[in-house]
Amino acid sequence: MTFDMVREAAKQPHADPLVTVAIRSDGSVESITFVRSSGVPAIDEAIRNIVRSQEHYQSFPPGLAREFDVIEIRRTWYFDVAIRLY
């Protein structure tokens, strides 16, 4: 899905999705969980694709990797002229 297609999907009435991404210490994605869906399947799928397209994330620094094998990052996604995370 292109960003233009995402912008078109975002013109539909939708909620701002709240998404948790779990990243393993090696930088791979363990899971993508929607705490709150957008209510538009195309938007939710675009978010999954955006997160996966950026995989392989940076590995954890050694000190962090000794303490944690996975970290979770939770953000609200906003779609307007650009995609914004807060």
Predicted local distance difference test score (pLDDT) of residue 84: 62
Predicted local distance difference test score (pLDDT) of residue 83: 64
Return the CATH number of the domain spanning residue range 3-77.
Answer: 3.30.1150.10
Report how far residue 63's alpha carbon sits from residue 83's, in angstroms, rounded to the nearest whole number.
Answer: 32
Q: How far is CA 27 from CA 43, 56, 57, in A?
A: 24, 5, 4
Predicted local distance difference test score (pLDDT) of residue 8: 78
Please give the average pLDDT of every successive group of 10 residues along the chain, which has 86 residues.
74 91 96 96 91 91 95 90 63
Predicted local distance difference test score (pLDDT) of residue 22: 97
Predicted local distance difference test score (pLDDT) of residue 1: 60
Measured in degrees and rounded to the nearest 5, phi and psi for residue 18 equal -110, 120
Tokens of 80: 């307007």
Predicted local distance difference test score (pLDDT) of residue 30: 97
Q: Whose structure tokens read 């869906």?
A: 37
> Of the candidates 79, 14, 26, 25, which has an alpha carbon nearest to the alpha carbon of residue 50?
79
